[in-house]
């Protein structure tokens, strides 16, 4: 077992078999080649934790939770590079959550993370579907409005005197 101390998860234990190697890194994190997936089976959101920098972790989720008919139409060259057939691949999309507006969370449907779990290889690829957005809202407009209103209402009910009576 190997241990990694992370600011987000505390100490993480993993085995070498858990490591996913990204030969070219991930765009924006080209020097980060070794990653592990962190998260329990009950939660749809997982974290892609860099082993090259304990401060870097990307929230990801299966694209089928956002789009039931998601089909990124991967390039055959990308599939070959991952030493896989399309059925051997697991897809994830990166989640982006604005700190001051979580209701505006988006997922990147245009560039999924593709993992061949048999070979422990990964790559972020560009979907051949131009209709997929880089910033696709995670929540529909009604849900976003409800979340925003609840947040604003909770903020307006917060004590203004620092909690002193």
Asked if 37 and 46 count as a contact pair (C-beta separation under 8 A), the reply is: yes
- With a cut of 50, say whether residue 165 has pLDDT above it: no
Average pLDDT over the chain, rounded to whole? 92
Give, as one character, the DSSP assignment of residue 29.
Answer: B
According to DSSP, residue 150 is labeled: H
Q: Kindly tell me if the per-residue pLDDT of 160 is higher than 50.
A: yes
Q: Which residues touch 95 (CB under 8 Å, ≥6 apart)?
A: 45, 58, 59, 60, 61, 105, 106, 107, 138
The maximal CA–CA distance of the chain, rounded, in angstroms, is 67
Give, in order, the Cα–Cα distances in Å from 52 to each of 31, 89, 118: 8, 24, 22
Residue whose entry in the numeric block shows the structure tokens 């089928």: 64
Burial class of residue 4 in the structure, from the number of CB atoms within 10 Å of its CB (0-12 exposed, 13-18 middle, 19+ buried): middle
pLDDT of residue 114: 97
Kindly state the helix (H) or strand (E) to which residue 155 belongs, with its residue range. helix 141-156
- For the entire predicted model, the pTM comes to 0.87
Lowest model confidence (mean pLDDT) among 15-24, 59-68, 145-154: 145-154
Cα gap 132→69, rounded to integer Å: 12
Q: Pick from 9, 46, 50, 49: which is nearest to 33 by CA? A: 50
* Residue range 128-153, pLDDT digits in tens: 999 999 999 999 999 999 999 998 88
Residue 161 neighbours by CB under 8 Å, 6+ apart: none
pLDDT at 155: 77
Predicted pLDDT at 16? 93
Other CB atoms within 10 A of residue 72 CB: 21
């Amino acid at each position: 077992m190997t241990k990694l101390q992370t600011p987000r998860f505390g100490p993480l234990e993993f085995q070498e078999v858990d490591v996913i190697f990204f030969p070219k890194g991930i765009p924006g994190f080209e020097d980060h080649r070794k990653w592990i997936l962190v998260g329990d089976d009950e939660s749809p959101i997982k974290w892609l934790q860099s082993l090259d920098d304990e401060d870097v972790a990307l929230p990801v989720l299966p694209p089928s939770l956002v789009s039931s008919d998601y089909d990124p139409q991967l390039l055959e060259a990308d599939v070959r590079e991952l030493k896989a057939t399309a059925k051997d691949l697991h897809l994830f999309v990166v989640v982006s959550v604005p700190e001051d507006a979580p209701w505006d969370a988006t997922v990147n449907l245009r560039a999924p993370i593709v993992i061949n779990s048999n070979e422990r290889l990964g790559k972020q690829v560009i979907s051949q579907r131009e209709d997929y957005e880089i910033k696709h809202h995670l929540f529909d407009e009604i849900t976003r409005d409800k979340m925003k209103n609840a947040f604003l209402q909770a903020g307006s009910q917060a004590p203004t005197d620092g909690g002193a009576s």
